[in-house]
Amino acid sequence: MARNTFPPESPVQRSAPAGGRITAKDLAKRIGVATSTVTRAFDPQSRISADVRQRILAIADEAGYRPNAIARSLNRRRTGIVALVMGDMTNPFYPAALEEFSLQLRQSGRQLLLFVVPPGGDADELMPQLLQYQVDAIVVTAARLSSHMSDLCGRQGVPLVFMNRRVDDPTVWSVCCDNQRMGAAVAEYLVNSGRRACAFVSGDPNVSTTTDRLLGFERGLAAQGQRLVACVQGGYSYEGARDAVAQLFAAGQPAIDAVFCANDLMALGVLSHLRMNTALRVPEDVAVVGFDDIRAAAYPENALTTVHQPLREMIECAIRLLDEGRPGGSVAESLREIPGRLVLRSTA
Amino acid sequence: MARNTFPPESPVQRSAPAGGRITAKDLAKRIGVATSTVTRAFDPQSRISADVRQRILAIADEAGYRPNAIARSLNRRRTGIVALVMGDMTNPFYPAALEEFSLQLRQSGRQLLLFVVPPGGDADELMPQLLQYQVDAIVVTAARLSSHMSDLCGRQGVPLVFMNRRVDDPTVWSVCCDNQRMGAAVAEYLVNSGRRACAFVSGDPNVSTTTDRLLGFERGLAAQGQRLVACVQGGYSYEGARDAVAQLFAAGQPAIDAVFCANDLMALGVLSHLRMNTALRVPEDVAVVGFDDIRAAAYPENALTTVHQPLREMIECAIRLLDEGRPGGSVAESLREIPGRLVLRSTA
DNA sequence: CTCACATGTGCACACGTTTGCACAGTAGCT
DNA sequence: AGCTACTGTGCAAACGTGTGCACATGTGAG
């Protein structure tokens, strides 16, 4: 038999690669066209005769062929991958954001590479790994990033969007709810409903999301001739807020009659303390207001009055910004604020 | 000046590519070594003299160079990317799983490509996209996958692991809690503490996680001479369970004195109904037991008795299996069951 | 019939890395 | 000195796709 002498000179002419994965070249050979023609069949922009395209697509489908996105990425210098860096998965707001992100990114034909920064950790360590994968853009939410890493992204030409966090850097985008205005709106509402001693439960005094809400709250109080009576640290967690507020009330402060929390999770912790450990009635004796409008806020046993963050719009905005490259103008222009909405339930 | 005639014949000799990204070739030219030497400097396995390696790494660091993971993936035919397909982000158990997954994958040097299947949706539509990106393995949790897609992965040689779900397919892995045994343990505990009329709140009658827990529960009851009094569908959601159980109790059933729920989220819905809408006391009149042990189960206002799922161990197991390729043996061998643990709090 | 032009296809190179092979140099041993 | 073995480096061919260029063919106008 001359069988095994068939390709005598060709050195490594294996037409079926080990992995079992079929390539454009295989397909082309089988159909009798050039590999570039196969490529063009998959690109709607390309000019190619309708019948050839159809034939190629049909056979490709039958053979289970789809273009290798890795090879394409290398060639096009665009991966279609967006990195999402996220901290604090324990706050239900962020899983909800993640779900919406995933949905919208897929609708725009992109993939989502996820990085969760561990509780005490820093997003900085993740960046090298992340940049190695040549992501087209990076979205950071609920995590801290050094300015060093931020302009490393800049040098590599990777757009960076902070979501639910504002940074004073005109070269990166920020998308937020209008935190100051909503903080003021909460103040106005509480004072109008007769509250005279308001406290604030902060998340982290270094994070804009918290400080903007606080600033707006204080300004809103001032506009009505009041001042903030107390401000405690809740560390963004249920337990942290519960314990902080326990101390606050145990300290026999001048009877606080309203507590505004930087997020819903902490507000639930506050509610828990008031209901389980004190005789105070909500809302008669103490009003509680949260921020985010997570699902649990609407549960009847919580019925939490809170500020609704328009998650879908915020994420739509963030994704639009990904295509804009890096912002060109001032800090103010690099910030997008989406209006929130006060949702009245039964705790205030 | 002869400056601009320096490379007279070379056609496209641009040494600084447009993207601003520096490549191994650039670095090599700058140092005066071959590109392969640069590669080897980054591979601890490679034999290369210590001083050359150090010099390369130093200059690479200074220049901000890191090997392009996409190009490497193409060459090695391994991307280092694991796809995670996840449904039902509204159940806090899954965000917690996601966080742990992210952590463990990063520790093993891999990346996480996330796909969230939309509420009514199907994982099948995602698979083509996902396979295009040449992921090294796929983990599916809380989502349904057709057997057609399952063996498409098989043909492409991509290991597939179902997590918290069991499938009767010996070619894919499954990692679960020992649901039947824990269901039986709950039954035993409830009967031992004097319960005489137990009901079950199911998630989805077609999902193994639910049916195994139910089966174990029924067997456990039978072993004590009892039978299940009622079984309702809660659809895995807080609201679904609350409404289902409302109907159940409104129907004036033979006074049910224990409710076992297929997950914690539904158990919280049940608690909500009992506490808000009935005069029944928990646990005196009705016991409530959940499954998963999410964080909210431990909140004092819930204090939910539940079955703890050992998330970390389950995920460790799943990640180990990724490296095993596809399972070789029987259905039984392709299933890994991790023991759970009953956590007694105040609802039963 | 010639020219201008549009259409469809193939060729070959590029994307940035990895890796088998060859080879120069050095060391160890008889 | 000659042989073997080992170390460190360069060369060049992959990996699978996209795309500019050339070219063949068809089409209509003058």
DSSP codes, A203-234 = S-TT-HHHHHHHHHHHHHHHHTT----EEEE-
Question: Chain B contact for A7, CB < 8 A?
Answer: no
Could you check: is the Cβ of residue B16 within 7 Å of any atom of nucleic acid strand C? no
- Are the Cβ atoms of A21 and B94 closer than 8 angstroms? no
Q: What is the 3-state secondary structure (H, E, C) of A34-68?
A: CHHHHHHHHCCCCCCCHHHHHHHHHHHHHHCCCCC
Beta strand A305-308 with A341-343 is: antiparallel
Beta bridge partners of B163: B141, B175
What's the one-letter identity of residue B273?
H
pLDDT at position B341? 97
List the single residue in A with minimal CA-CA distance to B121.
A103
DSSP string for residues in A61-117: HHHT----HHHHHHHHT---EEEEEE--TTSTHHHHHHHHHHHHHHHTT-EEEEEEP
**What kind and span of H or E run contains A289?**
strand A287-292
Phi, psi dihedral angles at A112 (to 5 degrees): -120, 115
Per-residue pLDDT of chain A (348 residues; tens, 9 = 90+): 333 323 333 333 333 444 568 999 999 999 999 999 999 999 988 889 999 999 999 999 999 999 999 999 999 999 999 999 999 899 999 999 999 999 999 999 999 999 999 988 889 999 999 999 999 999 999 898 999 999 899 989 999 999 999 998 999 999 999 999 999 999 999 999 999 999 999 999 999 999 999 999 999 999 999 999 999 999 999 999 999 999 999 876 668 999 999 999 999 999 999 999 999 999 999 999 999 999 999 999 999 999 999 999 999 999 999 988 888 888 889 999 999 999 999 999
Task: Judge contact between B182 and B291, C-beta under 8 A.
Answer: yes
Sign of CA dihedral B56, B57, B61, B62: negative
Closest CA to A217 of A257, A177, A253, A188: A188
For A53, the token pair is 């395209």
How far is CA B126 from each of CA A69, A110, A205, B140, rounded to the nearest angstrom?
14, 12, 41, 11
- Tell me the average pLDDT across B315-338: 91
**What kind and span of H or E run contains B337?**
strand B335-338
CA atoms in the 13 A half-sphere facing the CB of A299: 25
Task: Judge contact between A89 and B86, C-beta under 8 A.
Answer: no
Could you check: is the Cβ of residue A237 within 7 Å of any atom of nucleic acid strand C? no
- Are the Cβ atoms of A132 and B103 closer than 8 angstroms? no
pLDDT of B13 higher than 90: no
For A206, the token pair is 């270094």
Q: Which of A112, A131, A134 shows the shortest C-beta gap to B114? A: A112
- CA–chain centroid gap for A54, Å, is 40
Beta strand B230-233 with B258-261 is: unpaired
Q: Which of A67, A113, A126 shows the shortest C-beta gap to B113? A: A113
CA B48, C1' D4: Å apart? Answer: 22
Task: Judge contact between A282 and A301, C-beta under 8 A.
Answer: no
Beta bridge partners of A140: A85, A162
Calpha distance B219→B329 (Å, rounded): 28
Show which positions of strand C are touched by protein (CB under 7 A): 7-20
CA B53, C1' C26: Å apart? Answer: 20
For A183, the token pair is 């903080």
Give the contacts of A97 (CB within 8 A, at least 6 positions apart).
A86, A141, A163, A164, A311, A315
Q: What is the signed CA dihedral for B252, B256, B257, B259, rounded to 10 degrees?
A: -120
- Chain A contacts of B66, Cβ < 8 Å? 128, 131-132
Could you check: is the Cβ of residue B32 within 7 Å of any atom of nucleic acid strand C? no
Question: Chain B contact for A111, CB < 8 A?
Answer: yes
Taking all residues of chain B, what is their mean pLDDT, rounded to a whole number? 92
Residues of chain A numbered 178-237 and touching chain B (CB < 8 Å):
none
pTM for this entry:
0.92
pLDDT at position B185? 98
- Are the Cβ atoms of B133 and A111 closer than 8 angstroms? yes
CA B49, C1' D3: Å apart? Answer: 26
Calpha distance A265→A286 (Å, rounded): 18
pLDDT of B5 higher than 60: no
What's the one-letter identity of residue B308?
H
**Residue B216 Cα, gap to closest chain A Cα (Å):** 31
Sign of CA dihedral A81, A173, A88, A338: negative
pLDDT at position A42? 95
pLDDT at position B17? 42
Closest CA to A84 of A154, A164, A140: A140
pLDDT at position B329? 82
- Are the Cβ atoms of A155 and B20 closer than 8 angstroms? yes
Encode pLDDT of A290-330 as tens digits: 999 999 999 999 999 999 999 999 999 999 999 888 888 88
- Are the Cβ atoms of A20 and B295 closer than 8 angstroms? no
Encode pLDDT of B48-82 as tens digits: 999 999 999 999 999 999 999 999 999 999 999 99
What's the one-letter identity of residue A61?
D
For residue B16, name the pLDDT band (cuts at 50, 70, 90).
very low
DSSP string for residues in B216-234: HHHHHHHHTT----EEEE-
Residues of chain A numbered 70-89 and touching chain B (CB < 8 Å):
70-71, 73-74, 77, 79, 81, 89
Calpha distance A154→A168 (Å, rounded): 15
- Chain A contacts of B301, Cβ < 8 Å? 272, 275-276, 301
**Between these two residues, B325 and A243, which has the higher pLDDT value?**
A243
Question: Chain A contact for B152, CB < 8 A?
Answer: yes
Calpha distance B319→B317 (Å, rounded): 5
Calpha distance A219→A221 (Å, rounded): 5
- Are the Cβ atoms of A157 and B129 closer than 8 angstroms? no
Calpha distance B272→A296 (Å, rounded): 11
Beta strand B341-343 with B305-308 is: antiparallel
Could you check: is the Cβ of residue A32 within 7 Å of any atom of nucleic acid strand C? yes
- Are the Cβ atoms of B272 and A301 closer than 8 angstroms? yes
- Are the Cβ atoms of A64 and B295 closer than 8 angstroms? no
pLDDT at position A254? 67
Rg over CA atoms, chain B: 27
- Judged on CB neighbours under 10 Å (0-12, 13-18, 19+), A337 is middle
Nearest residue to nucleotide D18, by CA–C1' distance, is A75
For B4, the token pair is 């601009």
- Chain B contacts of A19, Cβ < 8 Å? 77, 157
Count the Cβ atoms, other than its own, within 10 Å of residue A346: 12
pLDDT of B127 higher than 90: yes
Task: Judge contact between B177 and B141, C-beta under 8 A.
Answer: no
Could you check: is the Cβ of residue A263 within 7 Å of any atom of nucleic acid strand C? no
- Are the Cβ atoms of B21 and A157 closer than 8 angstroms? yes
Task: Judge contact between A116 and B99, C-beta under 8 A.
Answer: yes
Closest CA to B206 of B248, B155, B144: B144
Encode pLDDT of A165-222 as tens digits: 999 899 999 999 999 999 999 999 999 999 999 999 999 999 999 999 999 999 999 9
Taking phi over 0 as left and psi of -120 to 50 as alpha, with beta for the rest, B174 belongs to beta
Beta bridge partners of B264: none
- Judged on CB neighbours under 10 Å (0-12, 13-18, 19+), A3 is exposed
CA A57, C1' C5: Å apart? Answer: 30
Question: Chain A contact for B64, CB < 8 A?
Answer: yes
Angle, alpha carbons A291-A295-A299 (nearest 5°): 105
- Are the Cβ atoms of A113 and B114 closer than 8 angstroms? yes
pLDDT at position A3? 32
Give the contacts of A188 (CB within 8 A, at least 6 positions apart).
A220, A223, A224
Could you check: is the Cβ of residue B7 within 7 Å of any atom of nucleic acid strand C? no
pLDDT at position A251? 75
- CA–chain centroid gap for A103, Å, is 12
Residues of chain A numbered 246-305 and touching chain B (CB < 8 Å):
268, 272, 275-276, 295-296, 299-301
Show which positions of strand D are touched by protein (CB under 7 A): 7-20
Calpha distance B296→B313 (Å, rounded): 21
